[in-house]
Every structure is written in C-alpha cells, then in structure tokens.
Amino acid sequence: MSEMTVKEIVADWLKEHGCDGLCGEECGCDFEDFRPCDEPSFDCVAAMKGPVPEEYKGDTDTWMIPKQFCTDCKEKPDES
C-alpha cells in the first residue's frame, strides 16, 4: 500500500466530482499545473474552467471559476 499526499488526495476528490482544478481570490490552477504554489491554502475552492475575462485575454489561456454543487438535490434512488 502506498502513501498519498494531500495534493494527490485533493486532486483525486476533485476529479471524482467533475472539477477541473482549484481557484482562490486571485489565482486558479488546473490539473496540468496543479497547485504550483505548493501552499496548503484553505481558501481555495473546487473549480471549473470558464471563459477568460476580456481584460485577461492574452495573459492566460485558462480561467478557473468556482464550481457550483447542488446542495438541495434529491439523492438518486438505489438501483440495486
């Protein structure tokens, strides 16, 4: 059995929940360059790729926006 880092655990959870990476107030990262800051920021949230705002076009190809999760959805019935 191998050990997993926090970075690997977070990346796995994000992928399992259909996310593209993380974003914070002034940053974002996808899995191609995941957590380049290497800091355990508790302010980062699950994110999806979104359109790059006009004022940042040319500076970046990737823009991350917070992923919205359904908090009041009915659970799927057990199909066993």
pLDDT digits (tens, 9 = 90+) for 32-67: 988 888 776 788 999 999 999 999 898 888 899 999
* Total structural domains within the chain: 1
3-state secondary structure the chain: CCCCCHHHHHHHHHHHCCCCEEECCCCEEEHHHCCCCCCCCCCCEEEEEECCCHHHECCECCEEEECCCCCCCCCCCCCC
The verdict on residue 40 lying in a domain is yes
The verdict on residue 17 lying in a domain is yes
Report the half-sphere exposure of 34 (CA within 13 A, side-chain side). 16
The verdict on residue 38 lying in a domain is yes
What is the CA 15 to chain-centroid distance, rounded?
8
The verdict on residue 80 lying in a domain is no
The verdict on residue 71 lying in a domain is no
For the cut 90, the answer to whether the pLDDT of residue 9 exceeds it is yes
The verdict on residue 44 lying in a domain is yes
Q: Which structural domain, as residue segments, surrounds residue 38?
A: 6-66
Global pTM reads 0.76
The verdict on residue 72 lying in a domain is no
The verdict on residue 23 lying in a domain is yes
